[in-house]
Structures are given as C-alpha cells and as structure tokens.
Amino acid sequence: MSTIIIAEIGVNHNGSVALARQLVDMVAEAGADFAKFQTFSPQKLASTIAPKADYQTESTGSGESQLEMLSALTLSPDEHFELKAYCLSKGIGFLSSAFDIESLDFLIQDMDQNLIKFGSGELQNAPLLYSAARAGVDIILSTGMSILSDVEQALMVLGLGYSNKAPDRPKLEDFVQAWSNPSIREKVRNKVSVLHCTTSYPTPPEDVNLRAMDTLKQSFDLRTGFSDHTEGNGACIAAVARGAQIIEKHVTLDKSMDGPDHKASSDPHEFRSLVSDIRFVEKSLGHTYRVPTPVELRNAVAARKSLVAARDIAKGELFTVDNITVKRPGGGGSPVRYWDVLNTKSDKAYKADEILDLS
C-alpha cells in the first residue's frame, strides 16, 4: 500500500483563495494525495489573552495577539467549498483540520467530509474528539507534546464516541470501560490513524525521535505515520523506511513570505523531491525474502567466479594450490569446492584459464 502523502497548506494561503489555488496546483502536480487546510473560528480557537508560540512571534512579530493573527488567516465557508471543488478538479483529495466543534460540524455536515485531521493541540480536546467519533468519521490524529498515556486517553475518548452507547455527557470511567471492550478497540483500529509529531517549527533533528513512531505502532496497532516539521526531507524518508503509512509536510510557495508557517515549510522544489523520494523508497523496500532478482541472475555469470586452471594442467595431474585458482566468469565449478578438489586427479587436460569440469 502506498504511503499517503498529505501536503499541509494549513494557513500558508495567508487568507487568499488565489494563493491557496496556487498551492493546490503545486502539490497536485508533485503527486500528493491530499491538500490539507485548517478550519477554525478564530474566536472559538483562541482567547484574547492567548500568546503566540515562539516560532509565530519570530515569524510574524509581537505586535499582534494570536487571535489577531488567526483572524487574518481564515477561509470563509464559500471559500472552503471553492477549494474542495478545485482540489477535486486537480485530482487531489481535500482535507482539513478542525479546531472547534462548530468548524467540525461544518466540515462533516455541510462539506460532507468523512475524514478529519486533528492537530497535536487537540489531542486533549475531549469534547472535540468525542463529537467527531460520534459522527462516525475517520480520524487522523497528531500526537505532538504528548506522552503515551495522553495518546491512549484520546483513543479512549474516540472509542466511546464510536460505540453504539455513546452518552451525551460521558464520565471518565465511561471512556475506560469502553476501551476495555475488544470490539471498541477494533473499531478504533479501523477508523483512527496516529501521527508521530514534534511540535517545534522547525524541529531540530535531535528532537525528531522517529523511534517513538514505532512505539505508537506497537502500543496501539493503528495505522501510523509522521507529521514532519524538520527542514529538508531526510526525516520523512527515514520515517517511510521505518514503516510510516502517512506523511504530512507543510508546504509553501516561498519560505520568505509573511506568515507564521512559511519558514518551516517545504518549497515547490523540496516538496516535489519529497514525493519522488518517498515513491522511490516504497519501491526499494520490496519484500523480506533474500533471493536474487531476475536481473541479478542475468549478471551472475559475469560477476561470480569459478574454479579455473591457473596454468596448463595434464590429464591425471593432481590439482594443487599452484595449478588451480578462482576467476570470473561464474557458472562453472563453485569456489566453495576449492578444498575438496585439492590433491585429486584431473580427469582431463586443461589449458590455462579453462573452467574446471567438476560434474
């Protein structure tokens, strides 16, 4: 199964549908599976006193609040519909992250989205996750800033939400009880994917910790992937080689553009290379059997070696370390039999470099 590649446009459209369409063009041409946006109401996402993250302040300055910054990066409902239609016309899936229940309901009920992404900041947002699961949609969940028990708690919330007995006002013990049910855990396995993630923009390589992706897979047996915030493509390539089934990467047309996420995003050249490299790695992984490929078999005669006469050998002469050696081509007596042949009589005469007949 091919790795699902999600191009995280996010808010790098800077509030412009025209720029968003250009980004869709770029990622569709590169071969991404999804162009992903962010759907939120600024007033429901951030309070008036919410500070910017350090990377946001570095990218956009400290003259505005997080709420003011987000207000300039929203897309209207009509713009969502326009971009979904545009994505479909370009042969790429439309995907969005929901950050509040109103936005979640819009994506599911109005836009008919049956797959919802949740960023790492929503991992503990139980009301939002619960609402999504009760709606029955598939979910991709990033796990930045978490410990393993945080992830399990989120999966417990989703499990109860997916159940046939999801109460309107659940209690903590309801989530635990639901998670103890094997059929509920199986439902979660079929509906939920988790992405290893480090919430740092950009993420230094020493903080990536790709082996934690393995821990998620081993702990929960879910479809697992990697949401990458590093510079360059190396971490994504390594993640695919380690078994990531989903890769998410921020994209931009120009890293120097104004906005909080451009600097830590892939430009068109980097993203095209990423998609190409991922598809190369997928083909390279192959199967688990150590057997020669058809092209190797064709090359074996030229590359391997046989036992040959080091000089002219008379019939009846003993084979010795002085008159036999190992040389190309292959296909004759195997060098593995070298010691068995020593001190035995030759059944025929050989010219120098002639392959020994050991049949």
Q: What is the pLDDT of residues 250-296, one digit of tens each?
A: 999 999 888 788 888 999 999 999 999 999 999 999 999 999 999 99
Q: How far apart are CA 117 and CA 247, in angstroms?
A: 13
The model's pLDDT over 133-157, given as tens digits with 9 standing for 90+, comes to 999 999 999 999 999 999 999 999 9
- DSSP assignment of 132-193 equals HHHTT-EEEEE-TT--HHHHHHHHHHHHHHHSTT--SS--HHHHHHHHT-HHHHHHHHHHEE
pLDDT of residue 63: 66
Q: Mean of the pLDDT values across residues 80-96? A: 98
pLDDT of residue 52: 64
Q: Is the bond preceding 329 in cis, omega lying within 30 degrees of 0?
A: yes
pLDDT of residue 258: 83
Please list, in sequence order, all residues whose beta carbon lies within 8 angstroms of the beta carbon of residue 47, skipping any fewer than 6 positions away.
67
Which domains does the chain carry? Answer: 4-285 (3.20.20.70), 291-359 (3.90.1210.10)
pLDDT tier at 67 (50, 70, 90 boundaries)?
confident
Report the candidate in 153, 213, 221, 236 with the shortest Cα–Cα distance to residue 187. Answer: 221
Please list, in sequence order, all residues whose beta carbon lies within 8 angstroms of the beta carbon of residue 330, skipping any fewer than 6 positions away.
300, 301, 302, 303, 304, 305, 306
Q: Mean of the pLDDT values across residues 331-356? A: 96
> Does the pLDDT value for residue 71 go beyond 80?
no
> Does the pLDDT value for residue 340 go beyond 80?
yes
pLDDT of residue 336: 97
Report the candidate in 202, 226, 232 with the shortest Cα–Cα distance to residue 214. Answer: 226
Prediction pTM value: 0.89
Q: How far apart are CA 55 and CA 57, in angstroms?
A: 5
- Residue 61 has a CB neighbour count (10 Å cut-off) of 11
Contact 208, 237 (CB under 8 A): no
The model's pLDDT over 317-327, given as tens digits with 9 standing for 90+, comes to 999 999 999 99
In the predicted model, what is the mean pLDDT of the chain? Answer: 94
Q: What percent of the chain has pLDDT over 90?
A: 86
